[in-house]
A = this chain, B = another copy of it.
Amino acid sequence: MQTPAPLRLILLGFGNVARAFIPLLASRSNWLTREYGVLPIISGIGTRRQGYFVHTSGIDAISLARFSDPLQYFSSTLQPVEDAFAFIERGKNVGASILIELTSLHPQDGQPALNHVRSALQSGLDVITANKGPTAYAQDELQALSRQTHTQFRFESTVMDGLPLVNLAQYTLPAVDIYSFRALLNSTTNLVLSLIEQGHNLTEAIEMAQQLGIAEADPSYDLNGWDATLKTTILANTLLGGHITPQQITCEGIRDLPPETIRTAAQAGTPIRLLSYAVRKDGHVTAQVTPRPLPSNDILQRGTGTTGVISLDTEAMGTISLIEHAPTLLQTAYGIFSDLVTIVRHRNTETQNGI
């Protein structure tokens, strides 16, 4: 057997998702070597708080996963570089070819993640991100940039990370023409609405959702519909071929719904949920995120707690629904891994074509 080719990655952002990704990558390392002849090597980890570290030779994923704190493996012996952009440049210089962008989301504008992605694609790195910001705010621009620099930009984990929706649309449903979708994409509002139905008030419901680790410390972007709007933007552009921005989506949150309205609807078997809907008509994509009563027997009623549901209306395949049952961090990490596989497959094809 040939020596596997090193596949050098740098990770920007090192929270829960990144920490779940390292052991997953380690567990699939031999599979990657067997299937594609590559050995994944982590060349650097960067975080805003602890610094940006790049190692000249890097460390293979299996060895790195043995450390209780992978970040410390880098930070204990290395001097940090100046900032995220120096980190990307230095990563490129030591031979990294993929940036995995996992910094936390700034829902207003997608920064600084958006600039990280731009910088990496411009430097010729492929980029995988689980951060909704760059894709929601600048998918068209980033895809154009990646074509121009012959890089790949992948974002499977940004929406419904328990379902391979982006890959599904791209590889599994050729020429199928999805013309609309309905989905529940925000678990905080799902849970808060269920708790209000059960008799709690909004403040109590939010606190309980926070205790369960589902709502953020600041739940306003969930409650006002903006989180769902960013996800709806990504799906509308990816599945329906739209070119819309989050600002173009009609967005209405759940804060102002009277508790009585919520309870009456639930008792009638048509509970109110924050519904994402997008449709293409005459080549024009429109979308909305609004609280709506779900008809009885609607498959979307399966979206309770963190379980997400999407129904796709297609021309050639009729209606297809997909349900991710209570996904965890492992699913987010797997989405990143599946993007990595897609990148490696695509490179193999290109190499064989002499590109």
Contacts and interface: CB of A to CB of B under 8 A. Distances in A.
B162 A320 contact: yes
Interface string A299-339: 10010000000010000111111111111101100100110
Contact of A330 (B168, B174, B318, B338): B318
A264 to B, nearest CB: 23
Contacts of A302: 299
Contact of A331 (B174, B318, B352): B318
A214 interface: no
Given A175-B341, A341-B174, A327 B323 contact: no
Contacts of A334: 176, 316-317
A316 B341 contact: no
A172 interface: yes
Contact of A316 (B24, B167, B174, B325): B24
Given A302-B299, A323-B299, A334-B176, A317 B171 contact: no
A162 B331 CA distance: 25
B328 A318 contact: yes
Contacts of A174: 337-338, 341-342
Contacts of A168: 164, 168, 172
A68 to B, nearest CB: 22
Q: Which of A35, A164, A172, A173 gathers most chain B CB within 10 Å?
A: A172
Copies in the complex: 2
A177 to B, nearest CB: 10
Contacts of A328: 318
Looking at chain A's contact residues, the main secondary structure is: mixed
Contact of A162 (B172, B311, B317): B317
A267 interface: no
A316 B31 CA distance: 14
A172 B174 CA distance: 13
B331 A324 contact: no
Nearest to A351: B353
Contacts of A317: 162-164, 324, 327, 331, 334
Given A31-B175, A164-B172, A167-B172, A319 B330 contact: no
A349 B355 CA distance: 13
B175 A172 contact: no
Contacts of A349: 349, 352
Given A172-B338, A317-B327, 12 more contacts: A162-B317, A171-B172, A299-B323, A317-B324, A317-B331, A318-B324, A318-B330, A319-B325, A320-B322, A321-B321, A349-B352, A352-B352
5 contacts: A163-B320, A173-B338, A316-B330, A321-B321, A321-B325
